[in-house]
Structure 1
Amino acid sequence: MRPRRTRAVNRALVRTALAITLGWVAAAGMATARADLVDTYVVTNADAVCATLDSYPSVAGIEGVGRAIMDDGLTPQAAGEVVTRAIVGWCPEHLPELNAFIAKWTTAGSVVA
C-alpha cells in the first residue's frame, strides 16, 4: 500500500471515529429499529476486534484492524465506525490506543474520554 493511500485511509478512519465519538453520547440512548451492515459487523466481530487489540495494543494495532475490516468489504468510514463502536462497547480499556490513533492523524487530538 502506498504511503499516500495509507494516510488517506487512516484519515478517513479518524474522521469516522471522530464523528462516531461525537455522536455516540447523543445516540447512546436511542435504539434504531433497522440493523445495517455496520451493526451486524460490530455484533459479530467486536470480540475479534478486542482480542486483536489485546495482542497488539497500539496505533499500529488499530490501523491493522481497520485494514482487515476494509478487506472484508467495508468502507474506511464503516471500518472506523466498527473499531470505535467495538472499543467503546466491548473493550474500553483500548480507548488510549484509539485516542493515540486519533491524535496521530488529526490536529484536534483526543476526543474520547
Structure 2
Amino acid sequence: MTKPTPQDAAPRGRTQLAVLHRLAAALLGSYAFTWGFTALGVAALVALGVEFHEAETAMLLLAFLVFLGLFLWAFAATQLSRVWAVLGGGALCMTAAALGWQQFLLS
C-alpha cells in the first residue's frame, strides 16, 4: 500500500468550500425548484377543476418527495454546474409558468 503524497490530497480549505457550495446548491436550489414545481402543480390542478385546498395539499405532500430526491441528487451529481443549471433553470421556468397560468386563471 502506497502512502498518499501531498499532491494527491486537495487543500483543506478548497475541500470545505466545495462541500459548502454543494450544500448551498442542495438546499437553496432544491427549495427553489420545489417551490416552482408546487406552484405550477397547484395552478395546473386548479385549472383542471380541483379545489384549491385539495390541490395545495396534494402538491405539498408530493413536494416533500421532490425536495428529498433533488437534495440527494445534488450531492450525487458529478458536475456542480449541471446541478445549478437544472435546479435554477427549472425553478425559474416553472415559477414563471405558474405565475402566467395563475394570471390567466384569475382574469
Higher helix share: 2
Larger Rg: 2
TM-score normalized with structure 1 length: 0.30
TM-score normalized with structure 2 length: 0.31
